[in-house]
């Protein structure tokens, strides 16, 4: 791993940076070999790695091992559907992972869900209170006690009949949940809508007072190493049962929206072998793909 110098604006007090030596101690044998860059500030780690992946030859062996880029501050961080990712330096673990998966683009169905499942398993290895409260919300979020802890953004740089270059962006709120919630409230000033369950931000420190970037990074990368290999070999199917076991809204009444308009409501059952959401509606079981679809507990708003 390597780190650049220069300092982000208004960093928090205390020892908040990633401890290089401790991280190396915590990494599993394969993650030890991954190139891991740590920079003070960038626009977007996803954009940085997307540019590199597009410059590679379009072959399955174009990248020997996953490449990880961590930034303490992202000035143009993005979430799903182009939303901004708001975080103060030291409060959130913000990184992207680039890899070439030995699958065509139509074989990537459920990748973001597989990543979410791996992150839940990784985070549950940390000394958090009630690890079972770390759960999954379809399609791309990890929740802690019902509030948003982790966001996932998957982008593809190129694809061939036997390989796809992907960049996986992951943002985990580690500390400072109250400050983050206040900042988001300020950004939404004037909006009359109540807080929507599953979208209110929370932080890992809520369940682990000593939460830090170093241990969180190691736990997540160690879980992702095995998950990426497994997904490359067999797609989402091996993750289906695990995802359903961690489903935060299993059996609950939900409403689905597309571009702000309600398209369906019913009981969330789980996901199928391609990561599609199964919903029992008044007219029968429906299957929902991802795309520009958002899910809320019924009555929670859009």
Please give the model's pTM, rounded to 2 decimal places: 0.88
**Whether residue 186 is found in the same domain as residue 267:** no
CATH number at residue 215: 3.30.930.10
pLDDT at 291: 66
Quote the CA–CA distance of 145 and 131 in Å, as a whole number.
10
Dihedral angle, C-alpha 38, 40, 43, 49, nearest 10 °: -10
Task: Provide the residue range defining the domain that includes 174.
Answer: 2-245
**Whether residue 208 is found in the same domain as residue 281:** no
**Whether residue 26 is found in the same domain as residue 45:** yes
pLDDT at 182: 66
Quote the CA–CA distance of 294 and 288 in Å, as a whole number.
10
**Whether residue 226 is found in the same domain as residue 266:** no
pLDDT at 302: 44
**Whether residue 269 is found in the same domain as residue 132:** no
Cα–chain-centroid distance for residue 186?
Answer: 24
302 within domain boundaries: no
Quote the CA–CA distance of 66 and 232 in Å, as a whole number.
13
**Whether residue 189 is found in the same domain as residue 266:** no
**Whether residue 260 is found in the same domain as residue 128:** no
**Whether residue 37 is found in the same domain as residue 150:** yes
228: left (phi over 0), alpha (psi -120 to 50) or beta: alpha
pLDDT at 181: 62
**Whether residue 61 is found in the same domain as residue 31:** yes
Give the CA distances from residue 140 to residues 23, 100, 199, 200, in Å, rounded to whole numbers and listed in that order.
26, 20, 12, 15
pLDDT at 298: 86
Number of domains in the chain: 2
pLDDT at 186: 60
223: tokens are: 């879980």
Quote the CA–CA distance of 135 and 247 in Å, as a whole number.
6
135: left (phi over 0), alpha (psi -120 to 50) or beta: beta
**Whether residue 284 is found in the same domain as residue 147:** no
- Digit-by-digit pLDDT tens for the chain (302 residues) are 333 333 444 444 457 899 988 988 899 876 778 899 999 999 999 999 999 999 999 999 999 999 999 999 998 865 544 555 556 788 999 999 999 999 999 999 999 999 999 999 999 999 999 999 999 999 999 999 999 999 999 999 999 999 999 999 999 999 987 666 666 666 555 544 445 555 789 999 999 999 999 999 999 999 999 999 999 999 999 999 999 999 999 999 999 999 889 999 999 999 999 999 999 999 999 999 876 788 899 865 44
Q: What angle, rounded to 10 degrees, do the helices at 111-123 and 213-234 form?
A: 140
**Whether residue 200 is found in the same domain as residue 234:** yes
């Amino acid at each position: 791993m390597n780190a650049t110098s220069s300092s982000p604006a208004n960093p928090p007090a205390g020892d908040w940076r990633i401890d290089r030596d401790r991280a190396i101690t915590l990494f599993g044998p394969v993650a030890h070999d991954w190139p891991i860059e740590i920079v003070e500030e960038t626009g977007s780690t996803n954009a940085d790695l997307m540019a590199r992946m597009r410059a590679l030859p379009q072959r399955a062996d174009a990248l020997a091992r996953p490449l990880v880029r961590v930034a303490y501050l992202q000035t143009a961080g993005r979430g799903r559907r182009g939303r901004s990712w708001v975080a103060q330096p030291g409060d959130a673990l913000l990184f992207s992972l680039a890899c070439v998966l030995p699958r065509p683009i139509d074989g990537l169905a459920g990748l973001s869900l597989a990543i979410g499942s791996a992150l839940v398993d990784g985070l549950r290895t940390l000394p958090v209170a009630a690890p079972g409260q770390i759960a999954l919300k379809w399609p791309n979020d990890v929740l802690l006690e019902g509030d948003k802890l982790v966001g996932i953004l998957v982008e593809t740089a190129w694809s061939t009949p036997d390989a796809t270059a992907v960049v996986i962006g992951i943002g985990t709120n580690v500390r400072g949940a109250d400050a983050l919630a206040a900042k988001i409230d300020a950004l939404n000033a004037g909006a009359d809508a109540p807080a929507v369950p599953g979208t209110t931000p929370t932080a890992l420190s809520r369940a682990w007072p000593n939460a830090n970037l170093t241990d969180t990074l190691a736990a997540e990368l160690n879980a992702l190493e095995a998950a990426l290999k497994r997904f490359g070999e067999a797609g989402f199917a091996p993750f289906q049962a695990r995802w359903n076991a961690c489903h935060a809204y299993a059996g609950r009444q939900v409403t689905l929206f597309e571009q702000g308009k309600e398209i369906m409501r019913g009981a969330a059952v789980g996901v199928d072998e391609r990561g599609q959401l199964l919903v029992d509606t008044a007219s029968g079981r429906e299957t929902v793909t991802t795309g520009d679809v958002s899910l809320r507990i019924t009555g929670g708003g859009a």
